[in-house]
Amino acid sequence: MIPLGGSRALSRPLAALRPCLARLAGGGGSGGGRRGSAFRGFLGASSGAAAAGLSLAAAGAGGLPSLAAAGYGGSGGGGPQPGQFGHPDRRVTDILLVANVLMFGLQSLTNNLVTVWGVKANALIHAGQWWRLLTPAFLHGGLSHLLVNMYSLNNLGPVVESTAGPRRMLVMYLVSAVAGTVASFYGSPNLSLGASGAIFGMGGAIAMHFYLNRDIYGSRSDRVLGSLWQTLLLNLVINGANPRIDHWGHMGGLAGGALAALLLGPRWKQTTLPTARGRWLVDAAPVPWLRSSPKPLDGGRGRLRDSPQWRALQEHVQAIKQTQLKDLLQEEARTDGLIREAGGLYMDFSRQNATPDTLKLLLELAEAADLRGKVDALFSGKHINSTEDRAVLHPALRAPRDAVIEDAGKNVVPEVWAVLDKIKAFTERVRGGEWKGVTGKPLTNVVSIGIGGSALGPLFVHTALSTEPEAMSQAAGRSLVFLANVDPVDAVRALHGLDAERTLVVIVSKTFTTAETMLNARTVRAWLTERLGPEAVAKHMVAVSTNLKAVAEFGIDPENAFGFWDWVGGRFSVSSAVGMVPLSLHYSFPVMERFLQGMRAMDDHFRSAPLHDNLPALLGLLNVWNSTFLGHSTTAILPYQQALQHFAPHIQQLSMESNGKGVAIDGTRLPYETGEIDFGEPGTNGQHSFYQLIHQGRVIPAEFIGVARSQQDVYLQGEKVSSHEELMCNFFAQPDALAMGKDAATLRAEGVPEHLVPHKTFTGNRPSLSILLPELNAFTLGQLLSLYEHRIATSGFVWGINSFDQWGVELGKVLANKVRAKVQEARSANCPLSAADGFCPSTVRLLNRFLQQGQTQAPAPGAGPSFPPGLKQ
């Protein structure tokens, strides 16, 4: 709002108004009384319209995400865009824009009679002309005044409309308009007019909405509120001292809009409904009059598929299908646009079936799926593992000592470091020979018992560092083996030839109930005690678990146990005591601390780098692109580095257990496939095995991982290149072979016989990406692992699934319990199973055949364990 005056066009009608005002104010002529003089003072002032308008362009148009974009409202997930005049989701805004413009036309046509009739004039309001509390909001003092206000309304109106709905938005707008005039009425004697009080009200309503619903929006709320504060401050700085602006009107409007939003809502609460599946958002606004109906809380999954961003990518698939990598790869600018680097990791995804447009569309999809908000929710300890009501805080495992990361209001970092300090002290005592076995010998062999997440990650890291010079020297004279499978053959493999007197056993199990791990733990305990007596447990067995009670029940002193927390998923637990205890025993704590630092560096990058340059986010988005849009269900992980031999099996669990889901996070069935089938082998071994299929059979996006400097290199006299260079030549050749292919014409030109041409043709156009590390050491290994952890989380966030639970592994376990009971029953009764045992005919036959052919005998009561020959030495 601006005080009225200055405008020459208005001076005549205003002059006509003056005596009337003066009379009502109790003054005489043109100057009596406070209001009369103030009025006179403003007649000479300029309208100042341009300065008075509220410009929230950054926050309103680009910066403010709409609820629709978050999947909570509007149509189709994209939300009305401020520029889209005529869009059905911003009808009220458009009506208000038109109304203001029409009123301005009327002001001009009537030579400002309309202005005189409607302007805020305190004396006339006192005299009973109450319409003047509303009408000033539809009048303007000049064209620039109108334009600035309409620009602001065009930015903010659609945001309020998409979050609150059209009717509520209209009410809020009118309430703000009146609140602005009322404040001006009490605070300022001047005549004033303009829509900016109402528009400030829109800002207040947005701020209140995002403040009240910050649980739902997460960090998005903080961004919106921050943006609004900035705009408001900017406005105060620019216009604060400007006497031609009706600050009372602005502040009144702001407060009116905020109050209206507080009372009218929407105020979303998460809940379940008796009549529907999944979780819902219910509007609990204090004034029920305009409440919204409940909305499914799915973060936009189902609707994400119907969103313009999703549709744009679907349409884009057709465009991409017209392209060939052999052509695309000739484009220098495209190549530049599809290469990124962070922390020394170089990532080239120019061999994806993608263009910079694909990238742009994928980033828009990420925005629509609120990827940034979900990443922030992960790092800030929100319980995003909703089916288990747990935070997902594995980044806290490698956070610096002074970081603050909270779960349920409690900083978890001190606990993390308490355990790390304990690991450091313990592993140094063992490695230094201070902690001895029961026979007084130092413990130089470690057996780590665990399965799944409690084995695969540590095994991968162990192998990766076993040839790295520093780690290798730290591990001199020591051994580390992993025992995962309940297959007794695995126990023999792990224990055969080990000297029990020098062996330390680490039982690693998050739950300490996993059947395989616990049987292996009992087996190894029997193996130890048989050789060293029952007192061996105290000196030769330690545990890593979240279940310290079960650890104590097993017979391990809790002092010798290393805890972690339910906010660490098993497959994300390498950087907890799960990996840190066995690996620090083997490689020393300082080496493993560098591994944690590498992970932290990539965590920081993931959290802070813009998505456009964010390596894990880009990898995750490309997975979604390949798997969901292009329909490639498999990913090949191909490290050209033997030390990464166990990388693919670890990623297999990390990815497939996380993202192999059939329902969205709210339990609704997904309308698209998620997850990917991961497999891989180090190059060049894989080339002589399954590469045939990826070159000429199915299309399988491949991820090549290479290392510039080898951990160990050999360069023989007379060889053209070193052995590592030989390896890396293949790393560079294979992606081009997949992308470029070889056509029939080339083959014929080479003189290939016609009947072999089809067999020797390579179609090409097969996607891959290449990651190049400077070298493979503890730090870069940490970076690589964190890159993949976050890439997998990114895909899951975009797919809208819970990547952090694993209900799919339960059914088989339950059935195995039943089989176990029946096998025992049948063996002790010496009687075959039948249909009455509750199995299908196929299983009955299989089990009976197994019982008949198997030679297992239960040990006699009181007899020792029945160890196979492999465990007898």
Ligand X SMILES: O=P(O)(O)OC[C@H]1O[C@H](O)[C@H](O)[C@@H](O)[C@@H]1O
Q: Give residues in contact with ligand X (CB under 6 A).
A: 450-454, 509-511, 514, 517, 570-571, 657, 806, 809
Rounded-to-integer distance, Cα 540 and Cα 443, Å? 8
Torsion of CA 862, 863, 865, 869, to 10 degrees: 180
Instruction: CB nearer to ligand X: give 16 or 809.
Output: 809
Q: Within 10 A of 95 (CB to CB), how many other CB atoms are there?
A: 13
Contact predicate 352/626, CB 8 Å: yes
501 φ, ψ (degrees, to nearest 5): -60, -25
Say which DSSP state 61 is in: I
Contact predicate 82/155, CB 8 Å: yes
What are 833's two structure tokens?
């199973």
Say which DSSP state 62 is in: I
Instruction: CB nearer to ligand X: give 53 or 453.
Output: 453
Strand-by-strand arrangement of the 561-563 sheet = 479-483, 445-449, 503-508, 541-545, 561-563
Task: Classify 849 in phi/psi space as left (phi over 0), alpha (psi -120 to 50) or beta.
Answer: alpha
Q: Nearest approach, Cβ of 569 to ligand X (angstroms)?
A: 7
Q: Nearest approach, Cβ of 855 to ligand X (angstroms)?
A: 29
Instruction: CB nearer to ligand X: give 7 or 454.
Output: 454
Where do the DSSP E strands lie in 612-720?
634-639, 677-679, 702-709
> 634 pairs with which residues across the strands?
677
Rounded-to-integer distance, Cα 219 and Cα 374, Å? 8
Q: Nearest approach, Cβ of 572 to ligand X (angstroms)?
A: 9
What are 148's two structure tokens?
């600035």
Rounded-to-integer distance, Cα 295 and Cα 266, Å? 12
> In which element (H, E) is residue 770 found?
strand 768-775
Instruction: CB nearer to ligand X: give 521 or 738.
Output: 521
Identity of the residue numbered 528: L
Q: Nearest approach, Cβ of 299 to ligand X (angstroms)?
A: 23
SS3 636: strand
Instruction: CB nearer to ligand X: give 514 or 765.
Output: 514
Q: Specify the residue for token string 């900016």.
A: 196
Q: Nearest approach, Cβ of 767 to ligand X (angstroms)?
A: 30
Q: Nearest approach, Cβ of 511 to ligand X (angstroms)?
A: 3
Q: Specify the residue for token string 């098993």.
A: 570
Instruction: CB nearer to ligand X: give 355 or 802.
Output: 802
Q: Nearest approach, Cβ of 813 to ligand X (angstroms)?
A: 7
688 an active-site residue?
A: yes
775 an active-site residue?
A: no
> In which element (H, E) is residue 26 found?
none
Taking only Cα atoms into account, the Rg of the chain, rounded to an integer number of angstroms, comes to 35
Instruction: CB nearer to ligand X: give 95 or 809.
Output: 809
Instruction: CB nearer to ligand X: give 238 or 816.
Output: 816
Rounded-to-integer distance, Cα 106 and Cα 402, Å? 64
Cis peptide before 684, with omega less than 30 degrees from 0? yes
Contact predicate 185/20, CB 8 Å: no
Instruction: CB nearer to ligand X: give 570 or 675.
Output: 570
Rounded-to-integer distance, Cα 735 and Cα 31, Å? 87
Close Cβ partners of 334 (under 8 Å, ≥ 6 residues apart): 328, 350, 355, 356
Instruction: CB nearer to ligand X: give 143 or 809.
Output: 809
> Active-site residue among 364, 593, 657, 676?
657
Q: Nearest approach, Cβ of 455 to ligand X (angstroms)?
A: 8
> 562 pairs with which residues across the strands?
544
374 an active-site residue?
A: no
Q: Nearest approach, Cβ of 509 to ligand X (angstroms)?
A: 3
Q: How many CA atoms lie within 13 A of 334 on its CB side?
A: 18
Q: Nearest approach, Cβ of 518 to ligand X (angstroms)?
A: 8
Helices 615-624 and 356-368, interaxial angle, to 10°?
A: 90
Torsion of CA 777, 783, 789, 793, to 10 degrees: -170
Q: Nearest approach, Cβ of 808 to ligand X (angstroms)?
A: 8
Q: Nearest approach, Cβ of 673 to ligand X (angstroms)?
A: 21
Rounded-to-integer distance, Cα 753 and Cα 689, Å? 26
Instruction: CB nearer to ligand X: give 231 or 806.
Output: 806
CA angle centred on 225, ends 222 and 230, rounded to 5°:
120
Instruction: CB nearer to ligand X: give 210 or 482.
Output: 482
Rounded-to-integer distance, Cα 613 and Cα 790, Å? 14
* Positions marked active-site: 657, 688, 813
